[in-house]
Structure 1
Amino acid sequence: MTHSPNSPEARDVAHHLHGYTDARRHEEVGPLVIDRGEGVHVFDIHGKRYLEAMAGLWSVGVGFSEPRLVAAATKQMSRLPFYHTFGHKAQGPVIDLAERLIGLAPVPMSKVHFTNSGSEANDTVMKLLRYRSNALGEPARKTFIARAKGYHGVTLASASLTGLPNNHRSFDLPIAGIRHTMSPHWWREALPGETEEAFATRCADELEALILAEGPETVAAFWAEPVMGAGGVIVPPATYWPKIQTVLQKYGVLLVADEVICGFGRTGNWFGSTTYGMNPDVIVVSKQLSSSYLPISAILINERVYGPIADESKRIGTFGHGFTASGHPVAAAVALENLAIIEERDLIGNVRRVGAHLRARLDALAGHPMIGEIRGVGLIAAAELVIDKPAKTALDVPGRLGGMVAGIMQDKGVISRAMGEAIAFCPPMIITELQVDEMVAVFAASVDEAKVRLGL
């Protein structure tokens, strides 16, 4: 695609290295430049409107350009635009937000530590748990287990937890001390004739075998999203979490719930941990905490985790960790107002109502020859595309079919995301049933167009 030399597209190609992008391909096609947002829609610099079916990156819960969030940021910016949290310092918004998060937590939690992204948060949890193991006199307990297709970030440590091959290739990852167990994707991973119940048992058995192979005294924690997001919106079988937690409890392994996508209403409850009966020791949140209006993330830890860390900081004389912007007052003020909007407008109730409508509309497409599986919970869903439905296979090049359909959808005015062959739906939590109808209609038309293009 040719752009004029001084266009925003050309200047972006000339100067900007994008994340999750083929850099050489980007030189050829350039970016879609978004200019503004309003509700569930964004507009490009040419004025074209798009329904943002991914809430940006799973994150703009209250929609774009919410005046109350703009006002909260402006008010705090004019009062105290920045202050840190090192050396016994604090400010009002960070105190209020820590208190609010402890009050919202799905299980009893002791303290909140603030970071700036989900990646930073998960990286920090790894440091905290190493620190804790040393404090407990268990220096061997430094192994962390995550899952294939799980997503926990992109720093050296958090990308190692992530169970997606392209986050490891050519980065020399994962680092030492990280192990992965199987994904809970029954439709894709089940053995012939295996029930969901039997599959969940096999998942738990594989985790237990891995813990035993490593040595239970060496395993510190198990990392998991309640529902996998970037791995393809993978919803676990009904008995998966009870079985997994039985294994963790048996060997004294901590549970880290990565709620970066699921937290603050996405699954129909404040936390995905509630939806699935999880009892985590650590909860990681970001994205919908501030609807991503400003970067902020948080780590909630229970007393079992906090106590040894506090004792070790006493022994050393300091807790030698923190970021300049940890608990940034403007980001914290926006997060507080964002949480208030979610509660006051009953957006979680909207997730339940409109999420059920989304699932019904998608389920109505299940008979399409190119749709292999529909899955989801609350207001997060995915449709897995196939060419051969019985074999559950797509095109020879992995991701080509998903990328084709996502591209057609964008041309038709709906921005989604392909994760392999899975097309994801994670719109702002303010979306209406009529807007869902529009979104799903564009998806259905795009699948049909792909079918024609492929001559199927």
Structure 2
Amino acid sequence: MLMRQHLIRALKRMPFCLELNCRVAACRLLGQMDLNEDAELTPLLVTCSGRAFLKSSSTASVYESTYPVTLHLCCVMTSLLGKLDASSLVKYVTSTATLQGQAECLSDASIRHFSSAPSAQSDSTEENGFKGHGMLAPFTAGWQSNDLHPLIIERSEGSYVYDINGNKYLDSLAGLWCTALGGSEPRLVKAATDQLNKLPFYHSFWNRTTRPSLDLAQEILSMFTAREMGKVFFTNSGSEANDSQIPWVYIDISELNWIAAFIAEPVMGAGGVIPPPKTYFDKVQAVVKKYDILFIADEVITAFGRLGTMFGSDYYNIKPDLVSLAKIRGLGMIMGTEFTNNKSPTDLFPAEWGVGAIFGQECQKRGMLVRVAGDAIMMSPTLIMTPGEVDELVSIYGEALKATEARVAELKSKRN
């Protein structure tokens, strides 16, 4: 009893992580854990890229750390709490849902994730011999690369990509929102080939550079008119651009409690293509200006004509101190959809249903790739997409939507 009290106290005070790639049961666990038994600490298991965290209902904060706990220690701890018989183990616990909610809609033999959502209950990708590959990929849980066959894209042609099994997909994402001219565009291939033949690589250290780098830097400075900018720093991706911004703004920080900078996307991308309230950035800029805080505009997905102006900063009248640029898209064609119950923006489906993941799978089955983020679906087609390809996109979208509606109706009937 004393050990149990010490453990509860430790969980409340210290960051803590349980590595649940070690076969902790969701449904069978329910039969051995009374979630209402302990008013001090009601455990809520939540996964993030294969991890699980204990959440205290009293503090509403998630205890997490970078230190995974081994299966042995996990079982010892939970046994001390009197909550879990260590012999009752299956493989996955789904994300952001209580164990009770999981048991209501999923069987203990079919708890799986797809694009970090739990409802994809089987591997939708054909066998290709690469299950358990050695590559570490973004937005991919560790168990996915071990237990599922990856979708391996082999070649591209216009707005389409093809996997190694010969399956054809309409790429509604334009790569990762960046291949505006589609795949294998002859002019791009020629330009790249010519440069590779002339000078494949040279660095930019010690005030050394190349003519294409200088020309591109000057062109970008000329294009950005929301505020006069002085220099361009090249990286390999939007993520690296943002990562590079952080140490720069900290260089000039004098005190630990001083806010170095405010960073924001003009339109939130990965969250579901969400525009801000009309006066949001006016009010934010008034605050940062008053307190001499730097403003970083993350224009990775809003630059180069996507909002009808050359940059999102132009559209929202933002005067940033630093700007991150990356993907070339254009013409305001970024599209986002969020699935909700009864068409209400506040009546969300249970997270454990993974409605967005279901839709993503249904699209892939029919030959189209989309981006899934929770129950939000995002598309950003190529600029070269033909009217016929647009019709194909809409047709597949409609078919996948009907299939998703049928699955949601099935989940609702199980809950009722």
Q: Tell me by how many angstroms 1:119 deviates.
A: 2.1
Q: Tell me by how many angstroms 1:2 deviates.
A: 9.0
Aligned to 2:369: 415
Aligned to 1:61: 180
Q: Where in structure 2 are the equivalents of 1:11-26 lying within 5 Å? A: 11=130, 13-26=132-145
Aligned to 2:238: 118
Q: Does 1:256 align with 2:371?
A: no
Structure 2 distance, partners of 1:139, 1:410, is 51
Aligned to 1:148: none
Q: 1:245 aligns with which of 268, 285, 290?
A: 285
Q: 1:271 aligns with which of 303, 311, 326?
A: 311
Instruction: Give the counterpart letter for 2:200 in structure 1.
Output: P
Q: Tell me by how many angstroms 1:251 deviates.
A: 1.8
Whether contact under 8 Å (1:41, 1:50) holds in the other structure is yes
Aligned to 2:218: 99
Whether contact under 8 Å (1:62, 1:429) holds in the other structure is yes
Q: Where in structure 2 are the equivalents of 1:140-159 lying within 5 Å? A: 140=255
Q: 1:42 aligns with which of 143, 161, 166?
A: 161
Structure 2 distance, partners of 1:77, 1:51, is 30
- C-alpha spacing 1:12/1:117, structure 2 compared with 1 (3 Å): farther
Instruction: Give the counterpart letter for 2:327 in structure 1.
Output: K
Structure 1 distance, partners of 2:394, 2:311, is 26
- C-alpha spacing 1:76/1:390, structure 2 compared with 1 (3 Å): closer
- C-alpha spacing 1:67/1:116, structure 2 compared with 1 (3 Å): same
TM-score, normalization by structure 2 = 0.64
Segments of structure 1 that go 5 or more residues without pairing to the other structure are 143-213, 292-347, 352-377
User: Aligned with 1:35: secondary structure?
Assistant: strand
Q: Tell me by how many angstroms 1:8 deviates.
A: 8.4
Segments of structure 2 that go 5 or more residues without pairing to the other structure are 1-121, 411-416
Q: Tell me by how many angstroms 1:12 deviates.
A: 5.4
Q: Where in structure 2 are the equivalents of 1:171-210 lying within 5 Å? A: none
Q: Does 1:427 align with 2:381?
A: yes
Q: Tell me by how many angstroms 1:51 deviates.
A: 1.2
Q: 2:201 aligns with which of 50, 68, 82?
A: 82
Q: Does 1:387 align with 2:310?
A: no
Aligned to 1:127: 247
Q: Does 1:448 align with 2:402?
A: yes
Structure 2 distance, partners of 1:12, 1:114, is 35
Q: Where in structure 2 are the equivalents of 1:266-415 lying within 5 Å? A: 266-288=306-328, 348=330, 351=331, 378-390=332-344, 392-398=346-352, 400-415=354-369
Aligned to 1:219: 259
Structure 1 distance, partners of 2:383, 2:180, is 5
User: Aligned with 1:11: secondary structure?
Assistant: coil
User: Which structure is richer in relative contact order (CA contacts within 8 A, separation 6 or more)?
Assistant: 1
Structure 2 distance, partners of 1:438, 1:8, is 26
Q: Tell me by how many angstroms 1:397 deviates.
A: 2.9
TM-score, normalization by structure 1 = 0.59
Q: Tell me by how many angstroms 1:62 deviates.
A: 1.9
Structure 1 distance, partners of 2:127, 2:224, is 43
Instruction: Give the counterpart letter for 1:139 in structure 2.
Output: S
The structure that is helix-richer by fraction is 1
Whether contact under 8 Å (2:265, 2:297) holds in the other structure is yes
Whether contact under 8 Å (1:398, 1:421) holds in the other structure is no
Q: 1:139 aligns with which of 254, 260, 269?
A: 254
Structure 2 distance, partners of 1:246, 1:430, is 41
User: What is the root-mean-square deviation of aligned Cα atoms in Å?
Assistant: 2.4
Whether contact under 8 Å (2:131, 2:148) holds in the other structure is no
- C-alpha spacing 1:447/1:16, structure 2 compared with 1 (3 Å): same
Structure 2 distance, partners of 1:399, 1:128, is 42
Structure 1 distance, partners of 2:391, 2:123, is 35
Structure whose alpha-carbon radius of gyration is higher: 2
Instruction: Give the counterpart letter for 1:380 in structure 2.
Output: I
- C-alpha spacing 1:92/1:12, structure 2 compared with 1 (3 Å): farther
